[in-house]
Amino acid sequence: MKETKLFDFAIIGGGLAGLTLAIQLKQAGLSVILFEKEQYPFHKVCGEYISMESWNFLERIGIPLAQFNLPKVNTLRISAPNGNTITHPLPLGGFGISRFTLDNELYKLALQLGVSIETGCTVFDTIKQLIKTSHGNFTARHIIGAWGKRSKLDTVLVRHFLQPHNRKLNDYVGVKYHVKADLPEHTIELHNFKNGYCGISKVDQNQYCLCYLVKGSELKKMGGNIKALEEKVLMKNPFLKKYFTHFPSLYEQPLVISQISFEPKTRVEDQIPLAGDAAGLITPLCGNGMSMAMHASYLLANQLIQYSNGVQSYEHALKAYEQEWIQLFERRLKVGRLIQSLFGNPKLTQIVLALLKPFPSVINALIKQTHGKPF
């Protein structure tokens, strides 16, 4: 046993859900340990457009976003594979910041507040209050799962979304670059191609995040060759042809993740509450998975703090969290899956965009269905 201390809470996963939860619990006077398998700062596959829903929250917990001079986004431009476009204002809008920067700022804040953080540390298993990791065993009264889209822990917990019959929404691949570009700063672009879509928007350091999601089967057809996929499939869209040809990548290699699942997930497993993508991932074209991860951590922190203050039992805290989660997010996830299903087949995408173009109020309503309110 490396640590003999019994922490109040152990959080597995130091992405946005895990880090913001650790910060809130620590600010409430609780002892917290967080495990992250990578070393900060590091890049992540993500479109890096954050809806304004979480601006106030991040400032409130101690991230001075206003000082970072970040690009603000208020317009969405979507293209069909043939290059036809729709441009539409975003009711709430968003801002651009790389995960390299944001996660690292949250990590530094958590450390400064006194959260114990084990980086480069993979959690293998948990048994009641025991956490088995690559750095040895640790103990905590309660364990929280914030391990993101997919982790070995999902297999250990035999989670339903991994069962073989749940394959339909289980096999997506995400690819990301940071590029130099000269596109309008206030616009996020979403360009469709066969079985996928690619977003581009400005982030900090004068860079643009170019990130796409594609069905795993499409990459398989190209023998797993990312370059071939881009040349033969993505570049059929004239916008993507221009961007992949003229915008120099700042990475030597793209960042790639596979086996992304949009299947519905449970919010609590074995008395372990789950936050962020571990509880359910919204389709990226909605552009608010990050805000949802932080919003879930806000809901969970409130319930856990009430439990720690003796106001309610642990079981009640988990039930209340689950109910709030369902009320706030379940419908958004469903609508996100529906919208994603309309984009993929090039002909259908063209028809959908042509039908939507004359009806901005319908586009507004769809955007509102997938977004929440500031918290």
Ligand X SMILES: Cc1cc2nc3c(=O)[nH]c(=O)nc-3n(C[C@H](O)[C@H](O)[C@H](O)COP(=O)(O)OP(=O)(O)OC[C@H]3O[C@@H](n4cnc5c(N)ncnc54)[C@H](O)[C@@H]3O)c2cc1C
Which residue ranges make up the site for ligand X (CB under 6 A)? 12-18, 35-38, 44-50, 122-123, 146-149, 151-153, 174, 211, 213, 260, 276-278, 281, 284, 287-291, 293
CA 197 to chain centroid, in Å, comes to 16
Shortest distance (Å) from residue 170 CB to ligand X: 13
Shortest distance (Å) from residue 343 CB to ligand X: 14
C-beta separation of 201 from 211 below 8 A:
no
φ/ψ region of 192 (left if φ > 0, alpha if ψ in -120 to 50, else beta) reads beta
- Closer residue to ligand X in complex, CB, 148/254: 148
Distance, CA of 184 to CA of 181 (rounded, Å): 9
Q: Which residues pair with 79 in a beta bridge?
A: 85, 191
Burial profile 27-51: b = 16 or more Cβ within 10 angstroms, e = fewer? bbebbbbbbbbeebeebbbbbbbbb
Shortest distance (Å) from residue 172 CB to ligand X: 7
| Length of the chain (residues) | 375
- Closer residue to ligand X in complex, CB, 50/229: 50
Distance, CA of 167 to CA of 196 (rounded, Å): 17
Shortest distance (Å) from residue 163 CB to ligand X: 20
- Closer residue to ligand X in complex, CB, 254/284: 284
- Closer residue to ligand X in complex, CB, 153/233: 153
Shortest distance (Å) from residue 10 CB to ligand X: 11
- Closer residue to ligand X in complex, CB, 41/312: 41
Tokens of 338: 């529906």
Shortest distance (Å) from residue 274 CB to ligand X: 9
- Closer residue to ligand X in complex, CB, 134/313: 134
- Closer residue to ligand X in complex, CB, 82/171: 171
Shortest distance (Å) from residue 200 CB to ligand X: 10
Shortest distance (Å) from residue 75 CB to ligand X: 15
- Closer residue to ligand X in complex, CB, 277/352: 277
Shortest distance (Å) from residue 310 CB to ligand X: 29
- Closer residue to ligand X in complex, CB, 152/316: 152
